[in-house]
Structure 1
């Protein structure tokens, strides 16, 4: 609910009211989306919305929703903006990537951007490597630059440079706010010092959303009750929603 206080207005240039330029709908909440019943409802609702939308955006809550949202959207590729691999055993906010792979998502079409030092065990790094997941660490991202990384991520998750967009199956974008620096995301339980700056995350989100193969996205690990007094984490999440919408608008402008 905290995210809904912000209006989808893109100031430009040029100035654009996204609420008028795009058809935007709020599909409501799913109770307890991290349980079996909630996952089933979330999967079904996303499936219905995805069939009629250019982009479905789910707001968390914790990272466990990535599993049901990506499945509901029938995603064939996955890009994560996350400090962690999310390859843990069991069903939790630390396991959605592993669960998706076990249920048939091709790990060769998974790209994980922002994996951080001192935030993951060597065992999960080896698991990602053994699966063939493309890992772009935080240091790699800053060395290579956002444009280069976005190009590679879309190529890998999209199934190759020569692949044409599939009208039914696309890419899911998982935006875990813990990829950001703790100073800008205190309302994210696992954020640590040294993560992405706000401008870096927003640039990644908007650039990735510009590609029409990105058909679904989530923004997760935002706890408004644990946020700073100025609501900076919620504000960041809201800006990411707006950047997703701006990306969709850019698709239409360049079509």
Structure 2
């Protein structure tokens, strides 16, 4: 790609982490081995970092140059798919959260939400809140990318402190829908988003959770399959790429949000134009733009 000193690439804004504090921190969690669907999601954090070079640091709509924010890269949790691996992920998530105001974890499959949120909140998990943008409840038994919400609840997160946005038809079961209801999870289904603005939906989630500090899980399979072909469980009829970007902006803007994960992109299965990975990179930038607006 040609270089232009008057068109700064977002990839050049991201700097290796040292001991200094920063507004934003990025790290990868290369999880893939417990995924219900075979996935190469462990390759995705590196691909999203590369894709940042396709975009600038300037938000025209917000009149923001993101270079005014400090953004550090803390590297990756490279072997997270085991008990010891989850402990390493928790330690990295804790480090990033303590050194930055908003930490962004790149998956990897959705199993990472468990270790990332535990690492960020630790003993404060019971007073924290969780918002998921996901087509699925992720309340399955066992350890997989289909179980992180159940595991967090069993670790001490109150089910009544969970809001799930984007739960899609024919992507769950009556048993797991009942489990969500029994836990006290607040569900805003995909169908409810058709006639409401992103801002109103996210405001409902924030109001439900009150003043709790929050982790947000962005499972990219909440999107329509046409815009995320690299998400194995995405279905036709999910939200649009533009809606996802709006959600990411609102997430970044919310002062309650301490940490975010972006999951379920299999970079090895993306379309020839790399649209899913590119959307992942834009999600990072929208989070940063929202943070800039706090």
TM more than 0.5: yes
Is 1:21 the counterpart of 2:68? The answer is yes
Query: 3-state SS of the aligned residue for 2:145?
Result: coil
Q: Counterparts in 2 of 1:155-194, with a 5 A limit?
A: 155-157=207-209, 160=210, 163=211, 170-194=213-237
TM-aligned CA deviation for residue 45 of structure 1? 1.1
Could you say which residue in structure 2 is the equivalent of 1:93? 145
Q: Counterparts in 2 of 1:89-128, with a 5 A limit?
A: 89-128=141-180
Could you say which residue in structure 2 is the equivalent of 1:41? 88
Q: Report which stretch shifted further, 130-139 or 68-77.
A: 68-77
Q: Please say if residues 231 and 264 of structure 2, whose CA atoms lie closer than 8 Å, have aligned partners that are also in contact.
A: yes
Query: CA offsets, 1:37-67, max 9 Å, x none?
Result: 2210110111122122111100011000000
Could you say which residue in structure 2 is the equivalent of 1:4? 49
Higher strand share: 2
Q: Give the structure-1-normalised TM-score.
A: 0.91
Query: 3-state SS of the aligned residue for 1:117?
Result: coil
Q: Please say if residues 87 and 97 of structure 1, whose CA atoms lie closer than 8 Å, have aligned partners that are also in contact.
A: yes
Query: 3-state SS of the aligned residue for 1:175?
Result: strand
Report the Cα distance in structure 2 between the residues aligned to 1:147 and 1:30, rounded to whole angstroms.
Answer: 33
TM-aligned CA deviation for residue 14 of structure 1? 5.0
Report the Cα distance in structure 2 between the residues aligned to 1:116 and 1:189, rounded to whole angstroms.
Answer: 15
Query: 3-state SS of the aligned residue for 1:186?
Result: coil
Report the Cα distance in structure 1 between the residues aligned to 2:62 and 2:207, rounded to whole angstroms.
Answer: 29
Report the Cα distance in structure 1 between the residues aligned to 2:62 and 2:147, rounded to whole angstroms.
Answer: 41
Q: Give the structure-2-normalised TM-score.
A: 0.79
Query: CA offsets, 1:164-202, max 9 Å, x none?
Result: x6xxxx200100010011100000111111111001111
Query: 3-state SS of the aligned residue for 2:278?
Result: helix
Q: Counterparts in 2 of 1:196-207, with a 5 A limit?
A: 196-207=239-250
Unaligned runs of 5+ in 2: 1-45
Q: Please say if residues 181 and 192 of structure 1, whose CA atoms lie closer than 8 Å, have aligned partners that are also in contact.
A: yes
TM-aligned CA deviation for residue 15 of structure 1? 4.1
Query: 3-state SS of the aligned residue for 1:118?
Result: coil
Report the Cα distance in structure 2 between the residues aligned to 1:172 and 1:212, rounded to whole angstroms.
Answer: 11
1:14–1:182 CA distance, 2 compared to 1 (3 A): closer
1:236 paired residue among 279, 290, 294: 279
Report the Cα distance in structure 1 between the residues aligned to 2:197 and 2:179, rounded to whole angstroms.
Answer: 26
Is 1:222 the counterpart of 2:265? The answer is yes
Report the Cα distance in structure 2 between the residues aligned to 1:120 and 1:14, rounded to whole angstroms.
Answer: 37
Unaligned runs of 5+ in 1: none
Q: Counterparts in 2 of 1:129-168, with a 5 A limit?
A: 129-157=181-209, 160=210, 163=211
Could you say which residue in structure 2 is the equivalent of 1:68? 115
Could you say which residue in structure 1 is the equivalent of 2:131? 79
Query: CA offsets, 1:93-120, max 9 Å, x none?
Result: 0000000000000111100000000000
Give me the CA root mean square deviation: 1.3
TM-aligned CA deviation for residue 13 of structure 1? 3.3
